[in-house]
Amino acid sequence: MKQVTKQFTDIKDGIKNLIKAANADYCDNRSYGSEGKSEVRTKMEEQFKNGWTIKDGKKYIGIYKTLGSQQSIWGGVVKEDGGKFKKGDILKAAGYGKYAMNAPRGNVLEGNYAIQWTGPLYLN
């Protein structure tokens, strides 16, 4: 898990930073043993880093992850203030193109949230 503290005024920059933190969580939390990082592991990390897709929807910006030949939704970010969510709120995926609407998992503009490579965290 990575703690993100940086704040942004542009939502796209905030999403880039979110992805950067997820990549760091994936790459930094692996034990390589005494022989160091293998060629296979290096290839897996590059595939992970290059497997992000951002889809700009009407209300949400979808963040999708491709591993191998399979793409899945990773999470989403609210585009505009409205209802119980505000611009930049991070939402957990609840199905392909759908989000958990119970509570945000942080905000890419405000910072000060934790993230894992597997997606936005569950609520406590």
**pLDDT tens for each residue of 14-41:** 999 999 999 999 988 666 555 666 888 8
Residue 64 has pLDDT above 80, yes or no: yes
User: Tell me, what's the pLDDT at 41?
Assistant: 84
Q: How confident is the prediction for the chain on average, in pLDDT?
A: 91
pTM over 0.85? The answer is yes
Percent of the chain clearing pLDDT 70 (strictly above): 92
CB 79 within 8 A of CB 14: no
Q: State how far the Cα of 68 lies from the Cα of 51, in Å rounded to an integer.
A: 9
User: Tell me, what's the pLDDT at 15?
Assistant: 98
Burial class (CB in 10 A: 0-12, 13-18, 19+), 124: exposed
| Mean pLDDT, residues 94-112 taken together | 93
| Mean pLDDT, residues 61-65 taken together | 96
User: Tell me, what's the pLDDT at 65?
Assistant: 95
- Across-strand partners of 60? 78
